[in-house]
Structure 1
């Protein structure tokens, strides 16, 4: 905009901040870094999540699903993820408003559940299915990474051996032109997706990967089976039975990371199964976080947190 009007961009930004906007008169400016609450934006269906604004500093954000990421979406943004300070601020909202909340989606963190229980006691808590699936995907990626480190070690040993013999090193290439190290590195993104969404090159790479590393294929099947429970099951009781079968599959594989996933699901199964009532997810919160990141990158980072929050609340609160 500065170049369009032939004005220095930084000067224009300063002019907007100090004179054109209402930032200097903003009532919430004194406590903006610690908390911002908008009780008028409360709705019956909320999302609770966390995001980083600047240099990894986390903020807890509550959004109203009905607003669909537009004006009125932001209910609260509070510094940190520690439960008690957040509860203290949210309890300032009249209980008559907080008791109207029927459902709140959140991740598996105990602090988030504590916040929801204390501040929205009449709301049903639903653990976001995508956080559950993310745990399983991380277990799969953990297996891939272990194999990749082994491949790197093997390649380094072969390289050293050929050098000692005075010969040039020629890595073993697979049918698609990848070395084992490259195959494992380049398979990262295809393992996030269902096989139906692979490109031709990804399908070829997956075929080679699963042939050479059958345990990765087995782990990928576990991830897909868990995904299908959420995608294809509508009844809570059926879902519980399918999860029990999935636990057995995991137990038979002996994958330690997946056993950790099973234990996490068991600890949160009551709130995970509530997904099947309304199929509610934290997608709105993730979408809102993406908007914050886009807003942050548009302005090349956050130099002034108060001013960033001022612009954020002007648009979304």
Structure 2
């Protein structure tokens, strides 16, 4: 805008901040760096998540699902993720109003769970399904990466052996024209997708991959089965039964990482099963985090946190 009107950009920014905007008279300016509160935006269905405004500066953000990421979304913004600090700020809202909250979606962080229990006594806690599925995908990728390092080590051993014997090293080329190292590196994205969404090349790659590494095939099937439980099940009781069967399959697989996921699900099964009541997710909070990142990127970072939050709340609070 400054370039268009032929004025000094820094001067225009300073004038906007100090005079044109209402930043200096902003009611919440005195405590904006530590917390912001908009009780009028409180609704029956909320999300809670953390986001970074700049580098390691984490903030806990409570949003109203009904606003759908538009004006009226922000309920609270609190510096840090310490449960006691966030609870202290949220408890500034009268208990009678906080008691109206029926449901709260969150990740599996214990501090978030404590915040919700202490601040919203009548809210049902719902663990976000995508955080659970993400754990399974990460476990699957961990197995792929382990095999990739093994393939790199094997290739290095054969290369060194060829040098010692003063002969040319010729790596093994698979049916699709890739080496094992390349196969494992290029299989990353197909493991995120369902079979019916694979391209022709991905189908060919997956066939070879699963023939050489049957454990990857089993891990992929476990990951997809877990996703199917959340996608296709509508009844909480059926979901509990299916998760129990999935747990049994994981136990038989002897995958350490998947057994860790299974234990995590067992420890959070009540809040995970609450998803099947209304099929609520934390997608709105994740989407709002993406908007904050885009906003931050547009202004090339956050130099003044108070002013950044002032502009953010003007749009979304």
Deviations 1:201-247 (A, max 9, x none): 22222222212211111101001000000111111111111111101
Q: Residues 1-317 of structure 1 correspond to what in structure 2 (within 5 A)? A: 1-317=1-317
Note the C-alpha offset of 1:168.
4.4
For residues 39 and 17 of structure 2, what CA distance do their matches in structure 1 show? 26
- Structure 2 gaps of 5+ residues are none
Deviations 1:55-92 (A, max 9, x none): 13221111000000000001111111111111011101
Secondary structure in structure 1 of the residue aligned to 2:4: coil
For residues 281 and 185 of structure 2, what CA distance do their matches in structure 1 show? 31
Q: Rate the CA distance shift 1:18–1:258 in 2: closer, same or farther, 3 A.
A: same
Secondary structure in structure 1 of the residue aligned to 2:101: coil
For residues 104 and 240 of structure 1, what CA distance do their matches in structure 2 show? 21
Note the C-alpha offset of 1:291.
0.7
Of residues 157-166 and 62-71 in structure 1, the stretch that sits farther from structure 2 once superposed is 157-166
Note the C-alpha offset of 1:275.
0.7
Q: Rate the CA distance shift 1:204–1:122 in 2: closer, same or farther, 3 A.
A: same
For residues 197 and 100 of structure 2, what CA distance do their matches in structure 1 show? 41
Q: Rate the CA distance shift 1:199–1:300 in 2: closer, same or farther, 3 A.
A: farther
Q: Rate the CA distance shift 1:27–1:169 in 2: closer, same or farther, 3 A.
A: farther
Note the C-alpha offset of 1:5.
2.5
Deviations 1:34-66 (A, max 9, x none): 111111100000001111111132211110000
Deviations 1:161-219 (A, max 9, x none): 33334444443332333322222222222212222222222222222221221111110
For residues 7 and 215 of structure 2, what CA distance do their matches in structure 1 show? 60
Of residues 191-200 and 213-222 in structure 1, the stretch that sits farther from structure 2 once superposed is 191-200
Secondary structure in structure 2 of the residue aligned to 1:71: coil
- Structure 1 gaps of 5+ residues are none
Secondary structure in structure 1 of the residue aligned to 2:178: coil
Secondary structure in structure 2 of the residue aligned to 1:4: helix
Q: Rate the CA distance shift 1:14–1:180 in 2: closer, same or farther, 3 A.
A: farther
Secondary structure in structure 2 of the residue aligned to 1:3: helix
Q: Rate the CA distance shift 1:56–1:158 in 2: closer, same or farther, 3 A.
A: farther
Of residues 249-258 and 206-215 in structure 1, the stretch that sits farther from structure 2 once superposed is 206-215
Secondary structure in structure 1 of the residue aligned to 2:202: helix
Q: Rate the CA distance shift 1:2–1:251 in 2: closer, same or farther, 3 A.
A: same
For residues 224 and 235 of structure 2, what CA distance do their matches in structure 1 show? 19
Instruction: Tell me the TM-score normalised to structure 2 length.
Output: 0.95
Secondary structure in structure 2 of the residue aligned to 1:59: strand
Total equivalences in the alignment: 317
Deviations 1:86-132 (A, max 9, x none): 10111011111101101001111111110000000011111111111
Instruction: Tell me the TM-score normalised to structure 1 length.
Output: 0.95
Q: Rate the CA distance shift 1:185–1:6 in 2: closer, same or farther, 3 A.
A: farther
Secondary structure in structure 2 of the residue aligned to 1:75: strand
For residues 243 and 304 of structure 2, what CA distance do their matches in structure 1 show? 47
For residues 176 and 14 of structure 2, what CA distance do their matches in structure 1 show? 54
